[in-house]
Amino acid sequence: MSPFYCRNKYCSYQGTTMRDLIDLIESKTKCQTPGANYKFETHGKKVVSTITLPFTLELSEDEFKKLDDELHDALEGVFKQFFKNS
């Protein structure tokens, strides 16, 4: 079994629950997006993220492209740790 696994709604990373990790991160950092709600789910090879903002986000095509690029880079930075042959 890999160091990170999820079964039903229980997730663990090397014996530490996701809730423990989230609590640790939140205790070390100040929220930079107050009112935003982040939800993550894993389904086999798929990770799904839903972000609910406390306002309506209206973007131009250029702004959307920039957001898409920045989200890609940020998520790639997070997920690179799970790729052994990178």
Q: 42-55: per-residue pLDDT in tens?
A: 899 999 999 999 99
The tokens describing 65, both together, are: 């492209």
The pTM of the full predicted model, rounded to 2 decimals, is 0.59
| Closest-CA residue to 4 (of 57, 47, 59, 63) | 47
Q: 2-36: per-residue pLDDT in tens?
A: 444 555 445 555 566 777 777 777 777 677 888 99
CA angle 84, 73, 14 (to 5 degrees): 40
